Amino acid sequence: MPSPRGRSLGAMLAAILLAAGLLVAGPAAAADDVVNLIHYGGSFGKALREAFFDPAEKALNIRVNDMSRTDMAKIKAMVQSGKLEWDVANVNTLEVWRGVKEGLWEPIDYGIVDRSVVGPAKEYEYGVPFIGIATGLIYSTKKYPSPDKAPQSWADFWDVKRFPGPRSLENRVRYTLTFALLADGVPPDKLYPLDVERAFRKLDQIKPHITVWSKPPVQALDLIASGEVVMALTPNNEWAEAARRGVPVGWQWNQAIYTTNAWTVLKGTPNKRAAMLLIREMSRPQLQARLAELTYFGPMNPKALPLVPAQVRQYLPTEPENLKKAAPFDHEWWGAHEAELIERWNAWLIK
């Protein structure tokens, strides 16, 4: 890292050039010893700071200037204007795909980043997956105290005779449409391209039994805890945290939808090499194992899993026994169709 005196001389020189009209002022990415990074914030951001950013700063002798919240519209405006305030962005799989189509990302330098760190995820030319997330069926353990007699699949969720009681689904087409097809008997490996008409016909069957169209990610757990519903869906990390607190909620790994979040590097950043080095550092197994302990998100680096305590691994979607039960999420298909399906979903809800 440059000395304070070096930075002071640099600032003086910049001021002289600016006064002389030889330097144009305006937003720009940070100097080589600072990487500006955007993420989803909240408790997740705090966990990233502890598990990733603090150790990476020491290892690389840089400062990670992290901010929240990820905003794709702002990223697009920055790249198109050339006025970059961020170097690295935490985005979900859909946003990786959309950003590629819009020319928002630098290709990942796999000469710096180890390809093997993506583990069970698909390797992306323009993003490095670093956590796995599952969204699946939860149920009240007060209503179903025996796991063997609890709902085992989305077909059971739809079976209101064998499993009576009020239910909740998310007010979001992305996962709900897929769960409808799984309930209708479509095998996980045959989901895509989604049969949209079939999915909506199946949703027509369960709609009268949905008492709350919940807001992700935590409302469904509140509904279970209060006894307002007996089944719902939620991300695995929220379920794990609720179970740890003693909320009477069970989880079904079978047919949970598996997705990832990734690191991307904004197109045109002058800090491209520093950004790639930071991503490499954040992919190290010790760091990813610590993030898993703090968040219950699954680490991508396969060398990280053995470092995670057994009592935490049971909650992770990248644990092999859990992962093999999951259904895939095709981010390219959803990236191409989600906008039109949101319109149809909204119309379907009110009819």
pLDDT in tens, 115-126: 999 988 878 899
CA–CA distances in Å: residue 236 to residues 66, 79, 213, 218, 322 = 25, 34, 19, 11, 11
> Does residue 46 carry a pLDDT above 90?
yes
Q: Is the dihedral of CA 44, 48, 50, 54 positive or negative?
A: negative
> For 157-171, what is each residue's pLDDT tens digit?
999 999 999 999 999
Per-residue tokens: 178: 């897929």
Q: Take residue 103 and report the two structure tokens written for it.
A: 């020319």
> Are the C-beta atoms of 201 and 218 separated by less than 8 Å?
no
In CATH, what class is 134-258+332-350?
alpha beta
133-184 pLDDT per residue, tens: 999 999 999 999 999 999 999 999 999 999 999 999 999 999 999 999 999 9
Contact between residue 104 and residue 266 where contact means Cβ atoms under 8 Å apart? yes
Over its C-alpha atoms, the chain yields an Rg (Å, rounded) of 23
Q: Report the C-alpha gap between 328 and 8 in whole angstroms.
A: 52
CA quadruple 324, 142, 247, 171: dihedral, nearest 10: 70
107 pLDDT above the threshold of 60: yes
Structure tokens at 350: 């009110």
**Would you tell me which CATH number, out of the four given (3.40.50.720, 3.40.50.970, 3.40.190.10, 1.20.1250.20), belongs to the domain 22-132+260-323?**
3.40.190.10
Distance of alpha carbon 47 from alpha carbon 65, whole angstroms = 15
Q: Is the pLDDT of residue 77 over 90?
A: yes
- Please check whether residue 275 is in contact with residue 99, taking contact to mean a CB–CB distance below 8 angstroms: no
Query: pLDDT tens, 93-102?
Result: 899 999 999 9
**The predicted structure's pLDDT at residue 32:** 65
Name the helix (H) or strand (E) containing 77.
helix 72-81
Its pTM stands at: 0.88
Tens digit of pLDDT for each residue in 190-206? 999 999 999 999 999 99
pLDDT at 19 over 80: no
Mean pLDDT calculated for residue range 256-277? 97
- Asked if 39 contacts 66 with a C-beta cutoff of 8 angstroms, the reply is yes
The overall average pLDDT reported for the chain is 91
Indicate the SS3 state at residue 243.
Answer: helix
CA separation for the pair 98, 72 (Å, rounded): 9
Listed in order, the ranges of the chain carrying CATH 3.40.190.10 are 22-132+260-323, 134-258+332-350
CA-to-CA distance for 13 and 27, rounded, in angstroms? Answer: 18
